[in-house]
């Protein structure tokens, strides 16, 4: 009986670690995708409109992650679904960066979108660091990814017409500030991931 309980406890720890590792790999990929979008804007490979469309895809991925991590776990099927969505988004980033459409990285609109996407990179990196350090539980990551989806939606809506105005950017920045505060609070609320 004692050996059975020890084996069960050990397997539960490995399962918890596997779930946390899954969340870490997904949040790391979110960071990478945002960096690729930002780089495309800075190089002129992506127009503001293309970046907005790509942010809409990132919104869908963040919503899927939020829904799938709501219960604090990430099953193999859920992870596979997220990876499929990320693979589609990755292919779309590649296509848009290598098509005939170009952007003007020095335009005020592109610079606004670049700044907003750079902030996404930073927020996603903070979430990923929180997962890896154990400061964030999977459930908290799900909540934060829902917040990231809201920011992505605002960026997608702002750039849908091919430009981002100053008032639109101000609305996005307010949303990003709220999200930044949520990340800080969740990382410092004393909740820790089991084994983290």
**Each residue's pLDDT tens digit, 42-87:** 999 999 999 999 999 999 999 999 999 999 888 999 999 999 999 9
Contact criterion met (CB below 8 Å) for 86 and 62: no
Contact criterion met (CB below 8 Å) for 136 and 144: yes
- Residue 190 confidence (pLDDT): 86
- Residue 194 confidence (pLDDT): 64
How far is the C-alpha of 185 from the C-alpha of 30, rounded, in Å?
21
H helix runs in 44-137, sequence order: 48-68, 76-97, 108-133
How far is the C-alpha of 86 from the C-alpha of 176, rounded, in Å?
22
**Averaged pLDDT score across all residues of the chain:** 89
- Nearest residue to 19 via CA among 70, 86, 63: 70
Name the pLDDT band for 28 (thresholds 50, 70, 90).
Answer: very high
126 pLDDT higher than 80: yes
The residue-averaged pLDDT of 29-51 equals 97
How far is the C-alpha of 25 from the C-alpha of 113, rounded, in Å?
26
As a whole-number percent, the residues of the chain with pLDDT over 70 amount to 87
Contact criterion met (CB below 8 Å) for 38 and 121: yes
Range in 19-28, 75-84, 92-101, 185-194 the model is least confident about: 19-28
Name the pLDDT band for 10 (thresholds 50, 70, 90).
Answer: very low
> In the chain, what are the domain boundaries?
20-33+46-187
pTM listed for this prediction: 0.85
């Amino acid at each position: 009986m004692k050996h059975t309980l020890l084996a069960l406890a050990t397997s539960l720890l490995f399962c918890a670690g596997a779930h946390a590792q899954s969340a870490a790999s997904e949040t790391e990929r979110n960071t990478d995708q945002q960096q690729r979008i930002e780089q495309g804007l800075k190089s002129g490979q992506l127009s503001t409109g293309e970046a907005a469309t790509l942010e809409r895809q990132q919104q869908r991925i963040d919503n899927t992650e939020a829904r799938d991590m709501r219960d604090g776990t990430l099953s193999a099927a859920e992870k596979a679904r997220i990876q499929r969505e990320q693979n589609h988004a990755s292919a779309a980033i590649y296509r848009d960066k290598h098509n005939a459409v170009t952007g003007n990285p020095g335009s005020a609109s592109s610079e606004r979108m670049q700044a907003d996407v750079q902030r996404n990179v930073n927020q996603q990196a903070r979430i990923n660091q929180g997962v890896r350090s154990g400061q964030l539980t999977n459930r908290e990551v799900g909540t934060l990814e829902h917040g990231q989806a809201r920011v992505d939606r605002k960026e997608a809506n702002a750039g849908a017409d091919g430009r981002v105005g100053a008032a639109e950017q101000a609305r996005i920045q307010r949303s990003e500030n709220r999200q930044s505060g949520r990340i800080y609070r969740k990382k410092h609320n004393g909740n820790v991931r089991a084994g983290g």
